[in-house]
Structure 1
């Protein structure tokens, strides 16, 4: 019978060579993944506003963190802008999907909201027109959104929601809550959808935090628990304080995302308001 020679045992040099090859591959993959993350972050930064509007007594800040899977680019956005009548518009939202198409669609939604907001003073009508606009684009994507309009003359904040997570608020006198106002369907789903409007006068110093679901919801972390955590974080920073730094506050809210185990991207928009003086009743 033929005799088979057993394979030559691997020498120490062979093992070192193989270890070096595997190490080089691992480093290459790590560098490639880091490059993907940096590219995703750069792309998202280009699609989001660099500056948010402010005025005496109202300061704003936003934070964004990309999806954890590199180029799984999300469609989360925030925005703030002056309107022709001297009021301020703010929006935050989340486009379905995690790819370049979602990111591009996000840019279209953000610009579309700016356009329709310039032609209507009613937040519900703004979302209704934006909804019709997105449906006319014949895309398979949809978006959740909250739109707010702030009037610096009356210090009133009016808003409407399109399938988006509710905002959280806190005041310096120790009160806080979740703004469970009635909303409508996400944008781009049903023609003729109506979006109820809620309004409140910002009569006390405090803050309002808006965010996407990547902040408050994870695979095994219910959204109710996330909202409670945001409310706790907001209250801890605002209660008994005046002149709260909105940037610090936005960063604290974004930390909640680390508790949820999320893999989605996440955005936060914070409005810090002082107690108004000498406003008409």
Structure 2
């Protein structure tokens, strides 16, 4: 009877561990950010093996450890220990011979290199390689089995199974990272360089969605009209993917031509664009804002019209920030005959006007009103700071708050600078 009860307890414990392994595999594969995946792997290995300490050492091109992700050692102790291991001793043995290794006392192994000062005591040891395809990505190092015993064969098997799943998760995260880089590069190639103009400082930013890598429809543009007045444009095509990117490119190019050719107020430019889109492209849905910055005594006069787009944000040193709230008019693709109003605002020297897509003010867990208020207050803090710093701060706020949509940002500051020839570099990332 005692043997039966012991067998049942063993089966129950094994079932619990299998359930734990399944949960760990799902957790490891649920994220596509490589840093998060690597940490989850170590945390899962520590939990499954009942280890006190765990680490994942990533093997670099030189055969040593290029990264070392730890669990169980606090930041203060890590700082006191000093630099992370480079891959000598037992850790180096696993790099040279990537097979599972269990030790009763790692300090007594002939390859043991010893511990630096302030290192916590570690005796029992389990090491398991992590492979991505046929390449050894790194090794899991687990020490100090809780309860004082040794790591068992079951521990080795379950951590080895986790390591196989980890290899797949790491490969997925790598592919995701490469896809995201390619997507961002393609998107940025669709965006223009900005000219340098007398009396204006210009900055632009583009930040892709924090969600899955996908080409979006957010864009900005700036051209000089025949009367030498700069025309600023920002738009957002509904949807994502290649279709949205294609529509975005078509709309921005058509808007350039119409704005340059018509020499009309911004509302008329949007009306003509909407007519053309209805006639040629089946009326894709998009929001757009068009702004003229005309020279005026002591600054500039801003003339603008919007097609369902968020309002411009104006920031002037010593004044409260303000959104230029006017009748936005319907988005493109609804009805070209619906009216859109023109609006006017005087901007004294030193003022900055920011045109943006909704990703700048829409964040997870916050209302649109809260997001707009936070963005305005932050911009006001940078009213007298360099314009690039203001743009960077706004993007940091959005991404830190859980940005889930693309961001296009075009900022202009009224200055007294004389014209500088040439063009700026391509739009910057955060």
Q: TM-score, normalised by structure 1?
A: 0.87
Aligned position for 2:194: 52
Residue of structure 1 aligned with 2:360, choices 207, 215, 236: 215
Evaluate the alpha carbon distance shift between residue 31 and residue 259 of structure 1 in structure 2; reply closer, same or farther with a 3 A threshold: closer
Residue of structure 1 aligned with 2:341, choices 184, 190, 196: 196
Distance 1:41 1:259 in 2: 19
Question: Which residues of 2 match residues 18-167 of structure 1 at below 5 A?
Answer: 18-49=161-192, 51-121=193-263, 122-139=265-282, 141-152=284-295, 155-167=300-312
Aligned position for 1:176: 321
1:84 is paired with a residue of what secondary structure? coil
Distance 1:126 1:192 in 2: 13
Deviation at 1:98, TM superposition (A): 1.4
Deviations 1:2-33 (A, max 9, x none): xxxxx9x9755543542331121011011011
Distance 1:160 1:188 in 2: 16
1:185 is paired with a residue of what secondary structure? coil
1:249 is paired with a residue of what secondary structure? helix
**Root-mean-square deviation over aligned CA pairs:** 2.2
Q: Is this contact kept in 1: 2:232–2:290, CA < 8 A?
A: yes
Gaps of 5+ in 1: 1-6, 277-281
2:262 is paired with a residue of what secondary structure? coil
Deviations 1:87-143 (A, max 9, x none): 111111111001111111111111111010012231111111111111122336311
Question: Which residues of 2 match residues 234-273 of structure 1 at below 5 A?
Answer: 234-238=379-383, 241=384, 244-258=385-399, 260-273=401-414
1:90 is paired with a residue of what secondary structure? strand
1:56 is paired with a residue of what secondary structure? coil
Distance 1:147 1:266 in 2: 17
Q: Number of residues paired by the alignment?
A: 265
Q: Is this contact kept in 2: 1:210–1:270, CA < 8 A?
A: yes
Q: TM-score, normalised by structure 2?
A: 0.58
> Segments of 4+ in structure 1 off by > 3 A?
9-17
Q: Is this contact kept in 2: 1:71–1:99, CA < 8 A?
A: no
Once the two structures are overlaid, the 10-residue window that deviates more, 166-175 or 90-99, is 166-175
Evaluate the alpha carbon distance shift between residue 85 and residue 223 of structure 1 in structure 2; reply closer, same or farther with a 3 A threshold: same
